[in-house]
Amino acid sequence: MITDRRLEKLNRVAANRQNMTVIIENVHDPHNIGAVLRSCDAVGIQEVYVLYTESRLSQSRLNELDPTSTGVRKWMHVHFFDDVDACFTVVRSKYDKVLATHLNDESVGLHELDLTQNVAILFGNEHDGISEEALKHTDGNFIIPQVGMVQSLNISVACAVTIYEAMRQRTEAGLYNDDLAENDTYRQGILDHYTYKHKQAYLK
């Protein structure tokens, strides 16, 4: 049974889900994955892509998330891939651009990006960054401005900084709305997912 107050929250969350996603490649630490999921949920990202191409990494790593992250994962769509081409084929079918946190001669600053678009944002692992194979599927690279001695941020922090900049831009553009339109089939589908999950939890 769903109370009116609970249904109101589910509607509000679904209405604020954004046409934006995050891809994380070969991120080893389950705590970092969990932190990424919590940040994504907080800014209205409904789905996250976990790409593992290293032989020692597997989908079982997702089972090691801390309880808080497991709760968030229940409401989100977390897609697992172990093939780069397959992952980006699916991403490209839903999102117009793929941007990567990667430093090269063509990289621009985070605040120069237009993050109000239908966009996927790619982050690499804690040590090696993004693989060359994955970079071939991207449309551009960006860096997060830093003025410290060490030019490096933890993956979960880098993700949070980036998607909160996206949230700022999208808020200014009026892309967050608490009212769920009846003709918005994408977000209505998300609401259906939420009500299903709620009913499952209630039945347990």
Q: Which pLDDT band, with edges at 50, 70 and 90, does 126 fall under?
A: confident
User: Mind listing the pLDDT tens digit for each residue in 61-84?
Assistant: 666 666 556 678 889 999 999 999
- CATH number reported for the structural domain that contains residue 54 in this entry: 3.40.1280.10
List, in sequence order, every beta strand (DSSP E) within 26-169.
47-51, 77-81, 97-101, 108-109, 119-123, 140-143
Question: Is residue 4 domain-shared with residue 88, that is, in the same domain?
Answer: no
Report the pLDDT value the prediction gives residue 202, as an integer from 0 to 100.
Answer: 59
Backbone dihedral angles phi then psi of residue 88, each to the nearest 5 degrees: -75, -20
Question: Is residue 102 domain-shared with residue 197, that is, in the same domain?
Answer: no
Question: Is residue 54 domain-shared with residue 106, that is, in the same domain?
Answer: yes
Question: Is residue 9 domain-shared with residue 57, that is, in the same domain?
Answer: no
Q: Higher model confidence: residue 181 or residue 152?
A: 181
The CB density around residue 46, as the number of other CB atoms within 10 Å, is 22
Question: Is residue 65 domain-shared with residue 161, that is, in the same domain?
Answer: yes
Q: What percentage of the chain reaches a pLDDT higher than 70?
A: 90
Question: Is residue 192 domain-shared with residue 143, that is, in the same domain?
Answer: no
Q: Which of 112, 125, 126 is nearest to 162 (CA)?
A: 112
Given a cut of 80, is residue 114 above it in pLDDT?
yes
Question: Is residue 10 domain-shared with residue 54, that is, in the same domain?
Answer: no
Given a cut of 80, is residue 1 above it in pLDDT?
no
> Cα separations (Å) of 73 from 41, 49, 70, 155, 162?
9, 12, 5, 18, 20
Question: Is residue 147 domain-shared with residue 62, that is, in the same domain?
Answer: yes
User: Mind listing the pLDDT tens digit for each residue in 9-66?
Assistant: 999 999 999 999 999 999 988 889 999 999 999 999 999 999 998 866 666 666 666 6
User: Mind listing the pLDDT tens digit for each residue in 76-110?
Assistant: 999 999 999 999 999 999 999 999 998 787 889 99
Question: Is residue 61 domain-shared with residue 161, that is, in the same domain?
Answer: yes
Report the pLDDT value the prediction gives residue 129, as an integer from 0 to 100.
Answer: 87
The pTM of this model reads: 0.92
Number of folded domains that form the chain: 2
Question: Is residue 32 domain-shared with residue 130, that is, in the same domain?
Answer: yes
Domain of 83, in residue numbers: 19-176
| Mean pLDDT of all residues in 160-180 | 97
Question: Is residue 193 domain-shared with residue 127, that is, in the same domain?
Answer: no
Question: Is residue 129 domain-shared with residue 143, that is, in the same domain?
Answer: yes
